[in-house]
Copies of this chain bind each other. A is one copy, B any other.
Amino acid sequence: MKPAVCLLSGGLDSATCLALAGRDGFACYALTFDYGQRHRAELDAAANVAASLGAAKHLVVPINLRLFGGSALTDNLEVPKTGVTAGIPITYVPARNTVFLALALAWAEVLSSSDIFIGVNAVDYSGYPDCRPEFIEAFEHMAQLATKSGVEARTRIQIHTPLSHLSKAQIIQLGQTLGLDFRLTHSCYDPDANGRPCGLCDSCRLRLKGFREAALQDPLDYIHS
């Protein structure tokens, strides 16, 4: 089985993406970052998802993006709860996907893998610039020039984004088809101390809307729903 590094936040999208990489025959090396997010529920979800989907390995890498500051997800800024608005929101973490993909590339190179999976989505997404296809293409091009395998062996580095053009409802339907246990996933930006999702932040809203449109029941127990 070919090895692939799969970025795994513990959310719905990355979990579906991991399930898909596994179905496509890759040995999945799931990679999660402990980046100073304000809650641990995401990390627990990632570990549970990786185990349930039979990842070859799951690595949690600490990288303290709080040192830089600048996001509601890592700082003590208020997470917006009044609905999804236009533009790049305050929950944006500066250069997050660039940092995460760079570290995925480092692990891929050590594993002699040329395949990286990331569950970015350009349809029902939160407006982050580093989720767009043009960003992913530019990263892929850069990765080819950055690495020993890309330069010496001319192995084609591929950043797989199988969810990029799916709606949230389609992602949920795909996850369902792949047997993903949605109870293990975590999407909320502002859960309570027990990891219970708020139901009001952008991420909860997009998830709930997706389930409604997919005509499926979200098994999570929301504070507000």
Contact = CB atoms under 8 A, between A and B. Distances in A.
Say how many copies of this protein the assembly contains: 2
Given A94-B106, A146-B130, A152-B88, A138 B135 contact: no
Interface string A124-146: 00000110101100110111111
A45 B132 CA distance: 40
Interface stretch (A10-18, A62-70, A175-183, A193-201): A62-70
A110 interface: yes
Nearest to A148: B88
A142 B145 contact: no
Interface of A: 59, 61-65, 67-70, 87-88, 92-99, 101-103, 105-107, 109-110, 129-130, 132, 134-135, 138-139, 141-148, 150-152
